[in-house]
Amino acid sequence: MSYGDPNNPYGAPQQQPQQGYGYPAQGQAPGYGYPQAPPVQPYGAPVPETMPGTVSAARVMLWVIVGLQAIGVAIFVFSALTIDHLKKNGDLPQLSDYPTGALWGFAVLALAWLVWAAVLAAKFTSGGNGLRVTTLVFGIITAVLALYPFTLVGIVHLVLAILIAVFVGNAKGKAWFNRPRY
């Protein structure tokens, strides 16, 4: 009998370095049974430390809407003032029946929309789930208004509003607005 043969079933046991009692050696495959679970996060799901790209893009789109609304307010105010001036001078009699109150109403609506979009965009870094829901509502209402009364001019608003609602409503948006604030 030769104890030096590694294939001899009656030979001396082979010495293996001990890594620690009950733990497999490094580099060895795990044994049979269930696979090892991944490490547990200390507070559940990972918390985003920086604003995700889609949420940041939604914020930028809100600022673009603010700029477009400022242009709209300027156009409505300029149109209303011009028509009022032409009515007083009697230069264009066909404008005498045109209601400038509607233009002033559109200017006020556009200004209110501008303020709402600016407040939403400004609060993206500190806002919670309520801001997320409000931004979703803003996006949906903007898309609906872009379809019906302002169809020709509202195409840009329609695209921006849909993208804002999608970007804020997806999983990354939910994780950002539901993150813990210490």
Q: What is the pLDDT of residues 111-136, one digit of tens each?
A: 999 999 999 999 998 888 999 999 99
Which two three-digit tokens encode residue 80? Answer: 């209303």
Question: Is the model's pLDDT at 34 over the cut of 70?
Answer: no
Decide: 49 and 182 in contact? Cβ < 8 Å: no
Spatial neighbors of 25 by CB under 8 A, at least 6 apart, are 16, 17, 19
* For residues 72-89, average pLDDT: 88
User: Could you tell me the pTM of the whole model?
Assistant: 0.69
Which two three-digit tokens encode residue 7? Answer: 């294939």
Phi, psi for 103 (deg, rounded to 5): -65, -40
